[in-house]
Structure 1
Amino acid sequence: MKRAKKIARRLRRFNTLRNQIFIAFFLAMLVILGIAGGFTYSKVSSLLKNNAEKHIKQTAIQASGRLDALMTQVDSLTAQVAGNPFVQQLLLDEVDGRSATFNERQALLQVAGSYQAYSPGGEALELYTNTGKLLFPLKEGQLDIRVDPRYIEEADKQKGRLVWIGIDPENSHSVLAIRRVNLFERWFSPGGYLIARIQRGYFQLNERTTVDDSGESILLANDQGELLGIGDTASGTDLTPLLNTKKQTVTFQGEDYVLVKQYSEAANWTILILTPVQYVTKGLSVLRTVLLAAGGFGALGFLILSFVLSTMLTRPIIQLIRAMRKSRLGGVLMPNPEPVSTTMEMRELNYSYNEMVHHINRLIRVVYEKETLQSRTELKALQAQINPHFLFNTLEAFNWSLVDKGEDELASLVVAMSRLFRYIISNPEKDEWVTVADEFDHVERYLKIMSMRLGERLEWEIDLDTEAARVPIPKLLVQPIVENAIRYGVESKIGKGLVSVKACLADDKVRIEVADDGQGMNEEELDVLRKAIRTGTSLTTASTGVGLINVERRLKLYYSGGEQSGAEALHIDSARSKGTTVSFTIPLDGQFSREGGISGGPNDIDR
C-alpha cells in the first residue's frame, strides 16, 4: 500500500502542464503522420491496382478475340458438315420415314473425316435425327441422354446457330457444341442435330499457365462455373464466386489476386485473368520503407519541436506561479510588474494578476473601514433603541389622557396609530414573517387612520377566510396595495369610495385581492402600468409608499411562481369608471426562504 502511494506521488510529480502539452502535441503529430502515411499508401496501392487492371484488360480483350476466332472456325466447319448434300439427303429420308442403311451410316465416316482434317482441335462429330436417334458414329444412342435437354431447346431457338455446351460428361478432356441441322429442300425445317466434340487444349486458354514471371493465370469458365481448362491446380474448382463477384481483389486458392473478367457472347463463356496482388503491388515495398523512414524522422522532429514548444508555453506560467508563492509568503505583495514574456496572453495574465493584487489590497482597506464603521453603528443603534420606546410611551400617554377627557374616538385612533407603528418599526429579523390575519389587522388599523383624514368618503370591507388566516406571509405585503387603492381610487373619485380587501383559499393557494370602485384605467394605461411593474420602472419621481413594484419584487423573491414562470406576480384588472382590482396568490408551502432580503429601495406606481 505504501509502495503504491509512493508510486502515485511520483506520477503526480510528472503531471505538469508542460508534460501534458508535450504528450498531446507528440501524440497529435503521430496520429497525423499515421493517417497521412496510411492514406498515401492506400491511394498508391489503389493506383497501382487500377493501372494493372487496365493492362490486364487489354490481355483479356486479346484472349477474347482469339477465343472468338477459334469458335468461329468450329462454327464454320460444323456448318459445312450440316450443309453437306449427303447429310442433308440422309436426314431428309429419315424425316420421310425411311431409315438409313448401315452402308449409308458408315459413309458418314468419310464425310466427318474430310472436315475434321481442317480442325486440329476437333475430336469427333455426332449426328442425330430429328427424333434424337444416333446416326453417326455407328452405335446406339439417344440425344436427350447424351446432352441436357435444355441445350437441345436452346439449339432449336437458335435455328441452326452453334450452341456451346461445355465439358463432355462422358469425356472430361473434351468440350461439346451442338447445332440444329435445317433441311434446305424443306424450307429449312428441322432435320436433325450435329454435335461437335473438341479437345479442351484446342483453345489454349483453358489451363492455368504462367504467361511471364508475374504468375498471371487465365481461366475459361462456362455459365455454370465449370473450369473449361486442363490442369491439376484448378481442376474441379467451382468458379461461380469469381463469376458473381464485383470486387477488384479476390482470394482464390488461398492467394490474393487482381481479377479481370471478359465475357464472350459467342459461347456464353467468361475469360478470367488472375494476377497476384503481390506482383501488382511489388513497388509498394519501397514506398512502405520510405514512409516508415519519413515517419521515423518526422516523429523525432516532432518530439523535439513539442518539447521546445511546451517549454516556451509553460515558462511564463512557472514564473507567475513563483511570483504568487512569494506574494503568499509575504502577505499580499506585488510580483515583478513586467515578467519576461513575449505572448499577449501571458502579458494579459500578468496584468490581470497585478490588478487582482491591487484590488485585494483595496478590499482589505474597505473591509477594515467597514468593520470599524459597523462597530460604531452598532453602538449608535443601541443608543437609538430608546427612541421607539419613547414614541410608544408618548402615544400611550396621549391615549390615557384622551380617555380621561372622554375623547374615546380620538383615543382609539391613537391606539391604532401606536399599534401601526409597533407593527412597522418592530425588529425585522424577528418579525419579517407574519400571518395573513396579522397583515389584515394592520390593514384595518391603516384604514381607520386614513378614515380620520377622508371621513365619510372612505368605506371598506375586509373578508378573511378562517383557513387562510393562519398562512404565513411577508410583512407589509398587502398594505401598500391598499394605500394605492385609497390614493388613486378613493381620493380621485367624487363622493364615497369603497375599498375591499379579501383573502380566501383556492386550489391549495391563498388568493388575496384588493379592489376599489374608483375611476379605473383604460387598456392603454393598464398596459403601461403592467409594463412598468414587469420591468421595475417607476412611473413617477415623487413616489413615497412601498409601491406595487416593491410588492412585485418581494413576491418573486419569496415565492417560486414569479421568477420561474416569467409571469407577473401581481394580476391587475381595471376598467374606466368601474375601478381597479389587484390580486396575487401565494402557495400554502412554497416560499423560497424566510431569511431572504429585498434589494433596492421602495417604489410606487402612479395610475
Structure 2
Amino acid sequence: MIRVIIRGINDLKLRTKLILSFIVVVFVPVMIVGLFLTNELRNQALQNALEQTAVNVDRVKKRTSEVINAAYDISYLLSNDSRLARLAATQYETVYDVVKAYKEYPDIREYINLYKEISNIRIYMNNPTLLDNWEFIQPDSEIMESSWYQSAMSSSGLIGWNYLRDERDGKEYLSLIRKIDFLEDRSSAVLVINVNSRMLDAILKQETFETMIVDEQNNIISSNRPGRVGRKLADLNLSKGIMDMQSGTYDAVVNEQSAKIRIETLVPLSSLNGIRILSVFSVANIVKDANEIIILASIVIFISLIVAIVLIYGFSALLTKRMLRLSKHISKVATGNFDVTLAIDGKDEIGQLSRQFNAMVWSINELLLEVKESNQQKTRLLSSQNEIKFKMLASQINPHFLFNALESIRMKAHIKGEKEIANVVRLLGRMMRKNLEAGSRAVTLKSEIEVVRCYLEIQKFRYEDRLNYELLIDPLTQQIQILPLIIQPLVENAVIHGLENSEYGGSVRVKAALINQWMHIEVSDDGEGMDEERLDFVLRTLEEQEGESEENNRIGLRNVHMRLQLSYGSEHGLAITSAPGCGTQVKFTIPIGGGLHV
C-alpha cells in the first residue's frame, strides 16, 4: 500500500507536488489547530459563564436568605409572645374591648415598620369575638380548606413557604406560613408573613443573566426579566424534567435554543419546603463573541492560504520551466546526440544539475573514445582472464594465508573502532588455529576450555542476549590431559539443537569437577529438551558401529562417544538425560593418572 502511494506521488508533476505538500504541511495543520483552538475558545467561554453563574447564584442565595430570615425571626418572636397568646385566647364582650386590646398590642405594626424585608403580617385564628383588621383575620371555610392552611395546621410548628395572595391588596407574595399554638386555651392560629417582593426584585436586577426565584409549585416569585413574575416555569418552554431538578447545572432548551441552567435550592431553618434560584443563559449569546473572533480569524487564514497557493503556483512555474529545459536536453542525449550544451542560470540545485549534465556529456564523449581504444585489447584480456581463472581454481589457500587474512580483518576493524567485530575475528582465528593444530595427542583441559570459550563468544556475538553461558571449571582440573576437541562438539550441539529454535534463547553451562580421582565433565542447556522417544533414538545412534546416522547432526556426538570409549574404556562414553522443556544434560568421566587405552 505504501509503495503504491509513493509510486503515485512520484508520478505527479512537480507543480502538483508543491501544492499537495503545501496542503499537507500547512493547510491541514492550520485547519486542525484552528478547529482545536475554536473548540477550546468556545469551551472556555462556556466554562467562564458557568463559573460566573455559579458565583452569581450563590450570591443571590445568600442575599435572599438574609431577606427571608427576617420573616423567620419575626415568626419565632410571635410564636413565643405571651401577650399575643392572651389577646387570642380572650373572649371579648364588646367591640370597645376588642379595639382596646388591638391598641394595647401594636407589635405587628411595629414589626412591619421596623423590618423592610417584610411587607405584611396577618394571623388567622378562630375567635368569633375578634374583629378582622387585616392583622387578625377570622378564617372562612375557603381559607380553612386551602392546602397551605391545612398543611400549616398539621405541620407541628414547622415553617412552610408558599406563593400566596394577600387579601388586603390582592397581590401575591412569597409568604412564611406557620402554626402558632396557644397553650392557655389550647387553641391555635396560622401566622402568615409576606416577604417584600421589591427587595427580592432588587437582588435579581443586579444579575447579568436571567435569574428567577421559584417556589415548590414552580411559581415564579421574582425575576430580573419583565413579565415573568406570577407565571409558571412551564410557561417558559423549558425542557421537560428541568422544572423538577434540584441543585446543579443542566443543559436545557429555552424557546427552542440551547441553554444552560444553574439551579440552587434554598431551604431555610425549620422549614418543610424551600425555594429554588434559577439562572438561565443562552449558549449562543455566550459564544457570540468567540464566534465573531473565530469568523475573523478564519477569514484571515483563508486569505493567507489563497495568497500562499498563488505564490507556490508562481514558484512552481519557474521551477518546472527550468526542469523542462533540462528534460529536453536529456532526451536529445538519449537519442545519441552528444553535441548539446545546456545553459541554465542560477546556483541552486537545478543550476548544479545543468552544469553536471554538461560535465556528464563531456565525460560520455571521452568514454566513447576510451571504449574504442579498449576494444582493441579485448582479445588479450579474455585470454588473460581465462588463465587467471585456471590458476585460481588450481591454487589453495594455506592456513598461514587464512590466519594472516583474519588478523588483517581484525586490525582493520580495531582501527575503525569496531571492537566487537575485531574481538570476534580474533576468537575465530584462535579457534581455527586450535582446530588445525589439534591432532591425536592429548591437550590440557585449560586449552580445550579456551576453544569452548571462543566458540561461545562467537555464538553470543551472533545471538546477542538470546545466549548466555557459564563455565564452572575447578582450578584443580585445568592441567589434566584430555583428548582434543572432546567438549567443543558437545557445546556446539547444545547451542544448535537446544537453543537455536527457542524464541527466547537460553543458556549453556560447562562444568568440570574433580571427585575421587575422576574428572566429571557436564555440558547442559535449558533449551527445548527431548521427549523419551527422541532420547532413545539418540542413544541408539551413539551405539551404531557402522555407517552414519540418517541425521547428520548426530555425527559429532557419536564421534565424541566413540573416542571416549576407545581412549578410556567402554564405561566412559556419553551419558545423556533430557526432558521436554527442561533442557538436555550430557556427562562423561575421565580417570585421573590413568593411561589412554590406545
Shorter-chain TM-score: what band?
Answer: 0.3 to 0.5
